Every structure is written in structure tokens, then in C-alpha cells.
């Protein structure tokens, strides 16, 4: 406190003494001549008046000394290195995300805005390997540095301060996890700050916990698999932590968890895991996935998952069902042709009367099925179209799932009207004309897809019997193809099509048994034809959506290639499909990418996306054909860190505390940072004095 009395203090003391003396004599007279109660009141009022008079005369004031913000700078350094992308808790925020609310220029009450209101301009720089000025709030997208040069960033800040003597560096605040794997030592630079009296204040970001790596891989990259036989998969889990890890290993097929194994793995060791035997029901491609649940502190989330593509071969024995609502001449010939080969387990269900059935098969009850899953135990079904309307609606409709999802085969023969209304596009033929020809009509069998060059199909002599009803296909599905055709006109008798994971066919010659009676060669040809057709139906569909996968990790921040090859229902490259990829990954990453045809390869579609974080990304591919058919497939892309710093992401809190201590600054953890926190400043900074 000070006094703004214009004259000398001695004069003020003389005046004070004279006035006090006069007031004393005045007060004594009042007490002698006036009633005491009134005199006391008058004296009190005069004392108050004199106090205010003296205050007006001396004019007291308060003096406040503040830093002159126009003559020094407050500098903030933000760590944008790779290690700041670490999630110390698997489901928590990245380290850099904890900082963003405190340095947001759009939030009025953020720490940096509070400092700007008090000290004016506050400079913000980001650093990884190089230091650069930050002018917006989009700095979280720039954290792609491979290393951290904290010492270099501090040294450069000091150098820039020397270049501006009129605006010295008053204080420096660092937001970092303390990683410093390139350039100068931070404590060495800290001593330079100390010698100049400039404090470094540190806000530590991270959690101090054990670091290591837990990795899982399939032992066998090319396992042998046959449909309906046991498949054994094994995986190896490696523990690079300094302590024993207890975890769970899962085997999955798509979203289905096939097996879970609890395992304890000693430090710096590995252990082989054998999963329960699997029994693939059908042939085809399977993508199995193994996942391990890592502890906190796992430095490489990309190797917590592995995938293997298994090609399941056709079964050694095909389970075949013949289904009809009445005895037909073709049945005994089919039974003889297929039952004589051990490759086929031939079963049949034929209705003979209202409540009378003929069944072939040990466990096949003589009654129409009621369970919609009835078909799932067969590899192929040979069905008379007339029987479909006698099945209950649920069982009949489930034939579609049998073909599309299970990968079963379905052969239909007979009139089409009811079949199309019940099964829709599963039937490869839209319409067929019933004909009764006067004489046999010569047919031609195409080689693909039922036969190979060794079968010499040109020597076959199939025919459509005369004087017996048959069906000529008049309109096929766009994706179906004729493989047995009238030799003269090219009209189809047998049309085939892939549907979902399975195969379907329509046969327009229900009296083909006549071929077996023609001669001995005809009998052998009949058997060879039906065995090949049945085996083709039961072997499952060729994979029509082939996803390109790689076992090599891609780097975060680089483009990840998405690529599929698509086949139409006719097994030819699909040129007119729509392919969309939906990607999900770490940090709630979600993106949809449209894939487009590549000119160099027919039926190939490609696109790309840029992953922002290390880890495993799941890609769901959805392919839509013009006729409405849809195929789905999934794959995984493993993304690793983009630099050497990902090998050690531990929180170097001790180094940060030492840096703050030797320079006279303050240290606090990001969890303790409040918007009103004030950093320490240099002691010799210019100040301004204010009177109030």
C-alpha cells in the first residue's frame, strides 16, 4: 500500500498533530457543557468525518505487480509422435486424445484459452522428429511420426528464443509421454534451460505399466481337410512380457466361436494350443481365425490375431437323397447307378399312397420331413418338382438355405410352375415347354463343368426319348448355362447354376432311363453321366468370391488394398456386380468403400482405405449381382505401427519429472490438469505495476 500525499510527510504529521490537539480540546468542552450521551454521539460523528478527511488528503492506493505479457512468450510443445497413439487401456482413449480438450481453441474454458486470456498469445508447436507450428485443432490427425526428438524440440525452442531478445521465453509447457529416441538428451537440454533461468513445466501423458508383446499364429499354414472328416487346427502363443501371462485363446469361423482355450504362458516362452477337432460338413473354402486376448501394455495389437484359409476337399462319400411323390421309371436306374459305387450313400423317399411311403436309408423314416433342418445332413437332393407342393411350406422353403448357405446340391426334374413359386430364383430355369416327340432327338453334352478332357464327352450319345414326355428349356436365369443341349437347335435339356455356396440343376429328360436300355455302352454312359452329375452337385460350389489376403502387416498411415475376384452363377468372371467393403477396426473405426473393376483382370474388383491405428481390421465384402443374388465374404487386414517407436511405448514419467525439477518447473499428470493451472515462469521477466 502507498499514499499519494503531494507534500512532505513532516507537513502531514504537523497537520495531523494540530488537528488532533484541536479536536481533543473540542471534545473535552463538549463533555463539560453537553449531556454525556449527546456529547459521545457528536464526538463519534466528528471522528468519522476527520478519518474520511485525512483519507482524502493522503489518497492511499494498492500497488499490484504483474508480468508484462507483451515482453515475453509462453510456449507449449505437444508430442505428436507414434507412441502418443498408444491406448494404455485397450478400451480407453489414445494418449493424445487425453490432451485435446485442454488445447482446444474452440472450448472457451480450455487450459490454453485461459492462458491466452491472461497472457495474450500462447504459441503451440507439435513435434515428433521435427518441430512445427500448430495453427488449428486438427493436430490429432497428424500424429504419424516414427520417432520422438523431444530434446531437439526443446533445444530449437531455446534457440528461437535467443533470436528474439525483445520477447524472451518466459515459460515452456510440454505435453508428452517422455519417449525420446532420437536427437539430444532431454536432461542435457534441461541444464541449458536451467542456466538461463527458464523453467520447463511438464504434463505427463500415459500410465506406467509393464510393456511386452503377446502373439498368436497358426502352426500349420496349409492344413489338409476333407468334408465330413476331422480337421485339427493348432496355434502357437508367444509371450514377450517380463511376467507370466494368463489369457484366453479363441478359434472362430466368421462370428461363430468354435473353441476357447485358457492358457498360462511363462515369460519369454511360447506354447502350442490344440483345438477340439472340427468336422466341415461340405467342401469349399473356410477362413478360420484365432484370437488371443492381450493384457494391457501389449505393444503390437496387430499380431493378436491370425487367419488361415483352409480348402476343404469333397467328401470321400456323398450322401444323396432321391425324393418323389410317386414311383417313376427313372428311380430304379438311378438307384442302381449310384448305389453300386461306395462313393455314394444313396437314400430315397417315395410316396406310394396317401399314408404309404417307400424309404431307402437306415435312419430315414417313411414320412415326409417336418424339420426344416432335415436337408442339412445331405450333400445333394434329386427331387421331383411335383413333391414340393406336398411338403409343408417351411420345409420346402428351407431347400433354399440348404443350397445357398450349406452349399448343398439340388437337381429338379418335372414341371416348373410350382417349383418357381416355392423356390424362386433357386430354380435355374424360368420356364420349360413340355414336349412329346415322335422319335428320339440327339443331344450333346458339353464338357464343362461336369466332365474333364479325359471323359471324351464328344463320344457320348445322349438322347431325348421319343413318344415319352420331356421338357425343353425355353427361358433360363441369366446366370445359368445349358450343359446338355439339343444337338440340332441348341435348346437346353440340362441347365446348371451356382447359387450361394451350392449348386442347382434342372433336368428336362425324366425318361433318360431309356438310354440305359439301349445297349451296354448306353448303360455305362448312363451310369458315368449320373455319377458325374451327382458328384458335381454334392461337391459344393466353387468359391465365387475370392478375397485377396496377405500375411504381411501393412503400416499404419499407408493405403491398405482391398481386392476380390467375383464369379457369376455361370462360373464366368462377373463384370457387372456391385461390390462394397465395410471396414471396422480399432478405435471404433468404421468406413465403407466401393470396389470397382480393374481393367487388367476380368472379374477383379479393388479399392483401398487408410487405417489410422495399429491392430486387426475386419472387412465385410458384399457383392450384389444384377439379378438380385448376393454373396458375402469377410477378411482381415493386420496393421502394424508405422515406426520403430512402437517397439517401446512405455511411459517415461521419471525422466519427465527430472526435466521439470532441474529447470525449476512444475510436473503434473494429465489426469490432474485443471483449466486454471498456472505454470512456473522465469524470475527475471519484465513486469508492470498497477495502482488501484
Residue 545 or residue 345, greater confidence: 345
Share of the chain above pLDDT 90, in %: 42
- What's the mean pLDDT in 182-211? 89
What single DSSP character describes residue 567?
B
Residue 633: pLDDT band with limits 50, 70, 90: confident
Residue 165 has pLDDT above 80, yes or no: no
* Residue 643 banded pLDDT, cuts 50, 70, 90: low
Please count the CA atoms within 13 angstroms of the CA of 176 that sit on its side-chain side.
35
* Residue closest to 411 by CA, chosen among 345, 505, 475, 317: 505
What pLDDT, on the 0 to 100 scale, is given for residue 68? 55
Read out DSSP for 68-109?
-GGGSEEEEEEE-BGGGG--SSTTS--HHHHHGGGG-TT-TT
Comparing 645 with 515, the larger pLDDT belongs to: 515
User: pTM to 2 decimals?
Assistant: 0.61
Inter-residue contact 203 to 174 (CB < 8 Å): yes
Q: What digits encode the pLDDT tens for the residues 579-620?
A: 999 999 887 889 999 999 876 778 889 999 988 778 888 899
Of 205, 189, 107, 109, the residue nearest 153 (C-alpha): 189
Burial of 614 per CB tally in 10 Å (0-12, 13-18, 19+): buried
User: What integer is the mean pLDDT of 472-498?
Assistant: 92
- Across the range 374-378, mean pLDDT stands at 90
Give the pLDDT band of residue 642 (cuts 50, 70, 90): low
Of the candidate ranges 67-81, 482-496, 666-680, the one whose mean pLDDT is the lowest: 67-81
**650 falls in which pLDDT band (50, 70, 90)?**
confident
In this prediction, residue 5 carries a pLDDT of 62
| CB-based contact 279:191 (threshold 8 Å) | no
Strands 380-384 and 409-413: parallel
| Residues 6 or more apart whose Cβ sits within 8 Å of residue 490 | 482
**pLDDT tens-digit readout, 82-136:** 888 888 887 788 888 899 999 988 888 899 999 988 887 888 998 888 888 888 7
| Per-residue burial over 267-303, b = 16 or more CB atoms within 10 Å of its CB, e = otherwise | eeeeeebebeebebbbbbbbbbbbbbebbebbbbbbb
Query: What local confidence, expressed as pLDDT, does residue 515 receive?
Result: 92
Rounded to an integer, what distance in angstroms lies between the CA atom of residue 483 and that of residue 495? 6
State the pLDDT at residue 66.
58
Quote the DSSP letter at residue 59: -
Judge whether residue 3 has pLDDT over 70: no
Q: Which helix (H) or strand (E) holds 186?
A: helix 186-195
For the ranges 247-261, 473-487, 620-634, the lowest mean pLDDT is seen at 620-634
Strand ranges in 143-226 using DSSP code E only, listed in sequence order: 169-176, 200-204, 214-218, 225-226
The pLDDT of residue 19 is above 90: no
Question: What integer is the mean pLDDT of 326-343?
Answer: 93
Average pLDDT over the chain reads: 86
Mean pLDDT within 400-406: 86
State the Cα–Cα distance between residues 113 and 132, nearest whole angstrom. 20
Please check the confidence at residue 689 and state whether its pLDDT lies above 60.
no
E strands present in 155-299: 169-176, 200-204, 214-218, 225-226, 234-239, 245-253, 256-265, 269-274, 284-292
Q: What is the pLDDT of residue 320?
A: 95
Choose the most confident range, by mean pLDDT, from 22-26, 456-460, 528-532, 540-544.
528-532
Backbone angles phi, psi at 592, to 5 degrees: -110, 135
pLDDT digit string, tens, across residues 442-466 = 999 998 888 888 888 888 899 999 9
**Angle between helix 186-195 and helix 150-162 axes, rounded to 10 deg:** 20
DSSP 636-651: EEEEE-SSGGGG----
Total residue count of the chain as it appears in this document: 692
pLDDT band at 687 (very low <50, low <70, confident <90, very high): low
Specify the DSSP element, H or E, that contains 533. helix 520-538
Q: Of the segments 297-301, 344-348, 648-652, which one has the largest average pLDDT value?
A: 344-348
Residue 556 in grid coordinates: 499404419
What percent of the chain lies above the pLDDT cut of 70? Answer: 91
Query: What's the rounded Cα separation, in Å, for the pair 34 and 210?
Result: 90
Q: Which of 54-63, 163-172, 204-213, 308-317 has the lowest mean pLDDT?
A: 54-63
CB contact at 8 A, 514 and 465: yes
Amino acid at each position: 500500500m502507498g499514499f499519494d500525499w503531494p507534500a512532505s510527510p513532516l507537513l502531514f504529521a504537523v497537520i495531523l498533530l494540530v488537528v488532533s490537539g484541536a479536536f481533543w480540546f473540542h471534545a473535552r468542552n463538549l463533555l463539560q457543557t453537553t449531556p454525556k450521551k449527546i456529547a459521545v454521539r457528536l464526538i463519534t460523528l466528528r471522528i468519522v468525518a476527520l478519518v474520511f478527511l485525512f483519507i482524502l488528503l493522503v489518497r492511499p492506493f494498492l500497488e499490484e505487480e504483474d508480468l508484462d505479457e507483451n515482453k515475453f512468450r509462453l510456449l507449449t510443445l505437444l508430442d505428436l509422435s507414434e507412441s502418443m497413439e498408444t491406448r494404455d487401456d485397450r478400451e480407453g482413449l489414445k494418449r493424445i486424445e487425453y490432451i485435446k480438450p485442454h488445447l482446444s481453441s474452440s472450448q472457451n474454458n480450455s487450459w490454453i484459452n485461459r492462458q491466452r486470456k491472461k497472457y495474450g498469445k500462447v504459441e503451440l508447436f507439435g513435434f515428433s522428429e521435427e518441430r512445427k507450428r500448430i495453427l488449428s485443432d486438427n493436430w490429432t490427425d497428424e500424429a504419424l511420426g516414427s520417432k520422438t526428438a523431444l530434446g531437439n524440440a526443446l533445444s530449437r525452442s531455446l534457440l528461437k528464443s535467443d533470436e528474439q531478445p525483445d520477447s524472451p521465453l518466459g515459460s515452456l509447457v510440454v505435453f508428452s509421454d517422455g519417449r525420446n529416441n532420437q536427437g539430444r538428451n532431454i536432461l542435457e537440454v534441461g541444464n541449458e534451460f536451467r542456466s538461463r533461468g527458464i523453467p520447463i513445466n511438464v504434463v505427463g501423458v500415459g500410465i506406467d505399466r509393464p510393456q511386452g508383446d503377446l502373439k498368436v499364429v497358426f502352426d500349420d499354414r496349409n492344413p489338409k481337410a476333407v468334408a465330413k472328416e476331422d480337421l485339427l487346427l493348432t496355434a502357437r502363443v508367444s509371450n514377450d512380457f517380463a511376467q507370466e501371462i494368463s489369457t484366453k485363446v479363441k478359434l472362430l469361423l466368421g462370428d461363430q466361436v468354435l473353441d476357447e482355450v485358457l492358457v498360462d504362458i511363462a515369460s519369454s516362452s511360447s506354447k502350442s494350443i490344440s483345438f477340439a477337432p472340427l468336422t466341415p460338413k461340405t467342401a469349399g473354402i473356410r477362413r478360420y481365425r484365432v484370437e488371443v486376448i492381450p493384457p494391457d501394455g501389449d505393444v503390437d495389437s496387430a499380431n493378436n490375431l491370425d487367419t488361415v484359409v483352409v480348402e476343404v476337399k469333397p467328401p470321400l462319400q456323398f450322401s444323396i437323397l432321391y425324393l418323389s411323390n410317386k414311383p417313376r421309371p427313372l428311380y430304379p436306374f438311378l438307384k442302381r447307378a449310384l448305389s453300386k459305387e461306395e462313393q455314394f450313400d444313396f437314400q430315397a423317399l417315395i410316396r406310394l399312397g396317401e399314408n404309404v411311403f417307400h424309404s431307402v436309408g437306415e435312419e430315414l423314416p417313411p414320412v415326409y420331413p417336418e424339420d426344416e433342418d432335415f436337408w442339412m445332413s445331405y450333400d445333394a437332393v434329386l427331387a421331383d418338382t411335383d413333391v414340393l407342393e406336398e411338403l409343408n411350406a417351411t420345409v420346402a422353403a428351407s431347400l433354399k438355405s440348404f443350397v445357398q448357405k450349406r452349399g448343398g446340391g439340388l437337381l429338379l426334374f418335372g414341371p416348373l410352375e410350382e417349383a418357381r413359386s416355392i423356390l424362386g430364383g433357386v430354380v435355374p430355369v424360368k420356364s420349360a415347354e413340355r414336349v412329346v416327340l415322335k422319335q428320339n432327338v440327339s443331344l450333346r453334352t458339353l464338357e464343362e463343368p461336369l466332365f474333364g478332357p479325359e471323359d471324351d464327352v464328344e463320344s457320348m450319345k445322349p438322347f431325348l426319348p421319343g413318344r415319352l414326355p420331356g421338357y425343353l428349356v425355353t427361358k433360363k436365369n441369366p446366370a445359368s448355362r445349358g450343359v446338355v443341349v439339343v444337338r440340332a437347335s441348341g435348346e437346353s435339356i440340362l441347365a446348371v447354376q451356382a447359387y450361394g455356396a451350392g449348386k442347382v440343376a434342372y433336368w428336362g429328360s425324366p425318361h433318360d432311363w431309356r438310354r440305359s436300355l439301349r445297349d451296354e455302352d448306353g448303360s455305362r454312359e448312363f451310369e458315368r453321366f449320373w455319377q458325374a452329375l451327382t458328384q458335381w452337385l454334392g461337391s459344393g460350389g466353387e468359391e465365387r468370391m475370392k478375397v485377396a489376403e496377405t500375411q504381411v502387416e501393412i503400416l499404419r498411415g499407408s493405403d491398405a488394398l482391398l481386392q476380390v475376384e467375383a464369379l457369376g452363377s455361370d462360373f464366368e468372371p462377373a463384370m457387372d456386380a456391385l461390390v462394397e467393403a465395410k471396414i471396422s477396426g480399432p478405435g471404433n473405426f468404421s468406413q465403407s468403400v466401393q470396389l470397382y473393376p480393374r481393367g487388367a483382370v476380368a472379374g477383379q474388383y479393388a479399392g483401398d482405405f487408410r487405417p489410422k491405428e495399429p491392430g486387426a481390421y475386419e472387412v465385410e465384402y458384399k457383392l450384389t449381382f444384377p439379378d438380385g443374388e448376393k454373396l458375402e465374404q469377410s477378411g482381415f487386414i493386420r496393421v502394424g505401427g508405422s515406426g520403430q517407436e512402437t517397439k517401446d511405448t512405455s511411459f517415461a514419467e521419471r525422466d519427465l519429472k527430472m526435466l521439470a525439477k532441474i529447470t525449476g518447473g512444475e510436473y503434473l499428470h494429465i489426469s490432474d490438469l485443471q483449466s486454471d493451472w498456472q505454470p512456473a515462469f522465469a524470475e527475471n521477466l519484465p513486469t508492470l505495476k498497477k495502482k488501484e
